[in-house]
Amino acid sequence: MSVEVKRDIRKLKQEDLEKFFVQQGDKPFRAKQVFEWLWKKSAHDFDQMTNLSLPVRELLKTHFTINPIRVDRMQRSNDGTIKNAVTLHDSLVVESVLIPAEKRITACVSSQVGCSLACKFCATASLKRMRNLSVDEIYDQVVAIREQSEEFFNRPLTNIVFMGMGEPLLNYSNVVAAIDKITSPKGLGMAMKRITVSTAGIAKMIIKMADDGVKFNLAVSLHSAVDAKRSSIMPINETNSLDELAEALKYWYRKTKSKVTYEYVVWKGFNDKETDIQALLKFCKHIPCKVNLIEYNPIGVSDFKQAESTVIDRYMSVLEENGITTRVRRSRGKDIDAACGQLANKFES
């Protein structure tokens, strides 16, 4: 007896499903109905599709599966931040985070299982990159956090940042396709301008994004504007130097007219000198930008230390005096290892 392997229905294009229905002697518009259930109403079960007749639902069940993510564990921080351990259909685990603030609720989502970039200060680097997340796995993280936002805060999810595990530009096509499902009126209908993709700086992908005319925001994890220093903590800089990054960013700005945000941690004894500040200032002059000075979140394995607050103040005043909007971003969810760079599938049991 041969057993047909059921296909994951969310891997299909709407045209594929239309063909399927026609082959089954049904109308192509069924596919539209099913897609609305899958991507707009986020159905995880064919029986939720109540405007389809029972025989149609049975037909779908025989041929297809839906492979939703499972939020297996949820941890809440003293500051309200929620960290989710998300199990994928093949039992791999990633993390996603809900960050509540006064005016916004942000979902921080993962784009890969593990990461290949080996940034010295980031806990995710300790996890080998296993695979890219699929469109539906990225989408499902947003849906889960959207539900938590309503359930625990009675407020809608407002923002999404691709700052969880992985390098989103190394999973570019799935990230872009997921953002399409998240923003499309046929999907979740969220605003493109509330979405930020953060990259360690893959120059050729920044150029591709500019060519594709993407409308979401771009953030670059800079941390140093001195090549040798940046390479010493971010190996990606060896093949994507600051000059190449600057060229790609100029191209990005020419094409999109969209400001970039630089993320920057100031570490004691590493980038806390006046020359570091001046190097950053110079880099900031390439294109209109904003700077987020991020608080360092210790990851326990390295000897990085947050710089003195006087140094952060100095960074602030030099950048602001030169007309560059600069914010100090306090870390959130640190007590449960949910802050930037702390995602490493570590859960308290």
Q: How many helices (H) and strands (E) does the chain have?
A: 11, 14
217 binds ligand SAH (CB under 6 A): no
Is there binding between residue 341 and ligand SAH (CB under 6 A)?
yes
Q: Are strands 64-65 and 195-199 parallel, antiparallel or unpaired?
A: unpaired
Residue 121 in contact with residue 271, Cβ under 8 Å?
A: no
Whether 213 and 255 have beta carbons less than 8 Å apart is answered as yes
Segment interacting with ligand SAH, rule: CB under 6 A, options 9-17, 30-38, 61-69, 296-304: 296-304
Which one among 203, 226, 265, 277 touches ligand SAH, defined by CB under 6 A? 265
* Main-chain dihedrals φ then ψ at residue 315, nearest 5 degrees: -55, -50
Between residues 42 and 224, which has the closer beta carbon with respect to ligand SAH? 224
Name the catalytic one among 108, 119, 122, 340.
340
340 catalytic residue (yes or no): yes
Asked if residue 178 binds ligand SAH (CB under 6 A), the reply is no
Active-site residue (options: 4, 58, 95, 122):
95
DSSP class of residue 47 equals: G
Question: Hey, which residues does 94 pair with through a beta bridge?
Answer: 86
Q: Which residue number, 248 or 340, has a Cβ lying nearer to ligand SAH? A: 340
Residue 141 touches ligand SAH, criterion: CB under 6 A: no
Pick from 198, 224, 326, 345 the residue near ligand SAH by CB under 6 A: 198
| Residue facing ligand SAH at closest CB distance | 341
Show the CA angle centred on residue 14, arms to residues 10 and 17, nearest 5°: 80
Q: Which is nearer to ligand SAH, 67 or 221 (CB)?
A: 221
- Residue 121 interacting with ligand SAH (CB under 6 A): yes
Q: Are 168 and 111 in contact (CB under 8 A)?
A: yes
Least Å distance, CB 218 to ligand SAH, is 10
Decide: 234 and 193 in contact? Cβ < 8 Å.
no
Among 297, 319, 334, 338, binds ligand SAH (CB under 6 A): 297
Residue 298 and residue 346 in contact, taking contact as beta carbons nearer than 8 Å: no
CA distance 40 to 37: 6
- Residue 4 is a catalytic residue: no
Nearer to ligand SAH, 155 or 330 (CB): 330
Mark the segment that binds ligand SAH (CB under 6 A) among 18-26, 34-42, 133-141, 290-298: 290-298
Figure out which of the listed residues 113, 163, 175, 205 binds ligand SAH, where binding follows CB under 6 A: 163
Tell me the window of 82-90, 132-140, 281-289, 294-302 that interacts with ligand SAH (CB under 6 A): 294-302
Please say whether the beta carbons of 251 and 204 come within 8 A.
no
Alpha-carbon dihedral 146, 149, 150, 151, rounded to 10 degrees: 110
Q: HEC profile for 171-209?
A: HHHHHHHHHHHHHCCCCCCCCHHHEEEEECCCHHHHHHH
Which of the stretches 28-36, 132-140, 182-190, 289-297 binds ligand SAH when contact is defined by CB under 6 A? 289-297
Cβ atoms < 10 Å from Cβ of 92: 15
For 112, the enclosing helix (H) or strand (E) is strand 112-113
* Catalytic residue set: 95, 340
Footprint of ligand SAH (CB under 6 A): 121-122, 163, 167, 198-200, 221, 263, 265, 294, 296-297, 299, 340-341
